[in-house]
Structure 1
């Protein structure tokens, strides 16, 4: 047996072979042999192990070249399910997906993040159990759990790190607590990172460098480079809401304590304050979007100006990171082209021509489901990694 996986020597590397089937494309043993350069007997042994474990399933036959038609195999996406959770300041979204990332059922409820980690996490777990029961599944069928929270996270430990709007959450061991309800890996990340990953896997998989910007009550960014999230040393990469905007009034104080931050001049509360000063009864980001949709001139101008402020910071990001696409998400992205126009105006003016040559600045395609889709993708990437597959197959065929 292999000391690392518990697999017999002939089956060590089964997880590596499985990576050729992760995309869901059915393949025959012969096709796998050509792609992997492994011996046909090795391919047969590893495929049989994955079939026995439930990880693969037969999906029909290929055209015969003489004799019995060869069988094709593909990922059994129904083998296990993934629980994906998006915790916002005032909501909790919980979804169950299969191993291909397809959402099978989901629910969103009002939930105050300030209720604290125990209350909020137990509430999400209870919803997860109910969704599983409705699908005829048990908690034991959950391969892993992905959780997004509205604050910085030390991803390796799954602990929030000084989150400004999450009282009581700092350094709370989310995986340990949630592990009382579900087994498998429990992965925690900032919600904007998961939004970026959700956009990437659903709409921009052929684009290796993506920057997603969430514009709502706060402003943050998620960075995908070479298909992977860039989190930084302590998980705070992408916190551009606290970059100072050139020319911002010195008396504009941000909730972080500094003055002139992007969030303090261009996020929802800042725009709403400007509109109230002009006589509009506006409090929330949704009301700003509604005013834009109604054609209110002051709202149109304020949103476009916020886009320009955002663009002034993103121009630096473009020169530094050279993304292929910038996706604008969050509630204020629903203002559509008015926000995007302001961003484009400044980014294309102030970024280097080479950096903007093929740059696209677009609105979100995943919308409010981005973090859920990203949480699911994060877990799937972990549980279908080569080492994880080896361990799973070893446990199932033991």
Structure 2
């Protein structure tokens, strides 16, 4: 994780402005204890780099009013690529992490890294050319386990040909910039946390789609674990012999409660449901069996989430992914089990809600992750030194 505060260098001072609140030079001096000349020199460097801009004058208390400075999120962009099993969303975000341009494209992740990256980076190049802004970094989310320190996938089950592939090097060969890669659910969790503006600092984002995974935010920070596999919710073993979704007596969670599992159960009942999209369509039109099986998937999901709630004690569980479009039925089933099987203290203020992020949630998350590095004190100091 990049440094969050740092010494009182220009990069350290810059962190104080990232909340968007304007400040005078005098306020910076009073807040930091730096001499006026030293603070002004650092702030001038940030203004010269375009990271801070004048924001008018403070209210005068007598004499000449002080100049106010604020962070300018339009000073550059970050590139974000969110890969799913059957799609990619490519976008640019400003330096606050807010998406400013996005494009979504269907693709098959099983076609391999070269084909998938060629499609995504082609669109990325077009977005960057249109924007004409300085690139601060690149973030990539993929639907599989990632060694975050290297950006390489590790035995991703639905991504043949990607194991050990050097994604950062492949991206840099096309677009010059620092590249950070993470699991797509971690990206979604980071994006949801950012979108909620600090409303909660302990949340679990659950993506229910072709598979099932979770991203864990604790104390405001993403938790990746020792090697990056934290949140692999889909491989929790559930035992529910009476469930219509469980062919045998038990199985991995994603094998019995994902969109793929619901579609398979519907087909076994003679319903035309080839994909997650078909499940969503059927539920949205009120198909009784699709609604019932989706709610049952929520109950099975609740069995696994009750373990998570007791262990991690989040204040919010967010349901997203392709089945997140019919999240009310998943949530209804999950609530039945979570509140019954979790300890009362852990559920006292627990909320289970659909995602607020929409199709740009992954872009926001990849951008926010990238900015944690690109706008850190050390990164800003290096940028100013190069300038």
TM-score, normalised via structure 1 length:
0.91
Are 1:28 and 2:24 an aligned pair? yes
Offset from partner CA, 1:305-352 (integer Å, 9 cap, x none):
110000011001000000010000011121132111100110001000
From 268, 271, 294, give the equivalent of 1:277.
268
2:78 is matched with 82
Q: C-alpha separation between the residues in 2 aligned to 1:249 and 1:165?
A: 29
Cα offset for 1:35?
2.2
Q: C-alpha separation between the residues in 2 aligned to 1:359 and 1:17?
A: 36
1:379 is matched with 370
Q: C-alpha separation between the residues in 1 aligned to 2:219 and 2:128?
A: 34
Counterpart contact for 1:330–1:368, Cα < 8 Å: no
Q: C-alpha separation between the residues in 1 aligned to 2:386 and 2:22?
A: 25
367-376 or 208-217: bigger deviation: 367-376
Offset from partner CA, 1:22-53 (integer Å, 9 cap, x none):
11211111111222222222211110111122
Q: C-alpha separation between the residues in 1 aligned to 2:197 and 2:96?
A: 16
Counterpart contact for 1:146–1:379, Cα < 8 Å: yes
**Matches for 1:214-253 after TM superposition, within 5 Å:** 214-248=207-241
From 110, 114, 118, give the equivalent of 2:110.
114
Are 1:333 and 2:324 an aligned pair? yes
1:364 is matched with 355
Counterpart contact for 1:142–1:182, Cα < 8 Å: no
1:45 is matched with 41
Q: C-alpha separation between the residues in 2 aligned to 1:41 and 1:373?
A: 38
Cα offset for 1:183?
2.7
Q: C-alpha separation between the residues in 2 aligned to 1:25 and 1:311?
A: 41
Number of residues of Structure 1 aligned to a counterpart in Structure 2: 380
**Matches for 1:296-311 after TM superposition, within 5 Å:** 296-311=287-302
User: What SS does structure 2 have at the residue aligned with 1:94?
Assistant: strand
Are 1:182 and 2:175 an aligned pair? yes
Offset from partner CA, 1:272-326 (integer Å, 9 cap, x none):
1222222211121121122112222211111111100000110010000000100
Are 1:389 and 2:380 an aligned pair? yes
Cα offset for 1:59?
1.5
Structure 2 unaligned runs (5+)? 1-6
1:158 is matched with 151
Cα offset for 1:182?
2.5
Cα offset for 1:259?
5.8
User: What SS does structure 1 have at the residue aligned with 2:199?
Assistant: coil
Q: C-alpha separation between the residues in 1 aligned to 2:173 and 2:289?
A: 51
Q: C-alpha separation between the residues in 2 aligned to 1:152 and 1:249?
A: 32
